[in-house]
Chain A
């Protein structure tokens, strides 16, 4: 008897508190607050890495360019000197 009474009390239909529907709808439309992601340190590290890599590549490219420039000058002077010598000899003979 007592159990039956307790069950009835527990399963009794209760009316929601006034304004519950409005509160639920209002909550549903709220934009959830985002947790701030700590991206700044990663961005700084990535930028630094990129800057160092680019600087290294630039220095390597400059050194390579300077070496190539010296080779060009050396080669053209050797070629030029041999052609000039041959031309001088030909002009000397034809005079």
Chain B
């Protein structure tokens, strides 16, 4: 009985340090885009994808080390025509971020993306990440749920180009 009581106390006092999932889907945004990258990976699908990453390839091993600790990966990247897109989507993402979220980087550029990076800090640990990268004709929204090392994430860019995915989901 004492053991059971201790277990209950341990579970009750252990803080749940999972970051929230942020909604990145806004009506009309994908419909208006010329090209769309839409990645939603969580639970079993994320574990499955991680299992299929190579052991021998250094890039893939680095990705797996990060992904194994994550609860969810959500990416939306849109490329629009000359009339651009409704920027209220960016505010809608920001509004969802609670008091534990902090903006750690904000880059304004006249020639490239404006980038904002928000992290969900619990103690000294990052348990969630939101990236908003906005250009006049491109918008990329990223939400990673789980512990993240920003420096390691930055190294994953690698030397590969980022393939674009059409609205039908075909890689180009």
Contact = CB atoms under 8 A, between A and B. Distances in A.
A35 B25 CA distance: 68
Interface stretch (B5-13, B15-23, B94-102, B149-157): B149-157
B4 to A, nearest CB: 39
Interface string A44-88: 000000000000000001001111111111111111111111110
B127 interface: no
B121 interface: no
A17 B131 CA distance: 104
Contacts, number: 114
Interface residues of A, number: 27
A75 B131 contact: no
Nearest to A67: B49
19 contacts: A61-B48, A65-B51, A68-B41, A68-B45, A68-B48, A69-B50, A71-B41, A72-B41, A72-B46, A72-B53, A74-B75, A74-B163, A78-B75, A78-B162, A79-B75, A82-B131, A83-B153, A87-B105, A90-B107
Given A73-B60, A84-B155, A85-B112, 8 more contacts: A65-B51, A68-B41, A69-B50, A71-B49, A75-B73, A76-B73, A80-B158, A83-B117
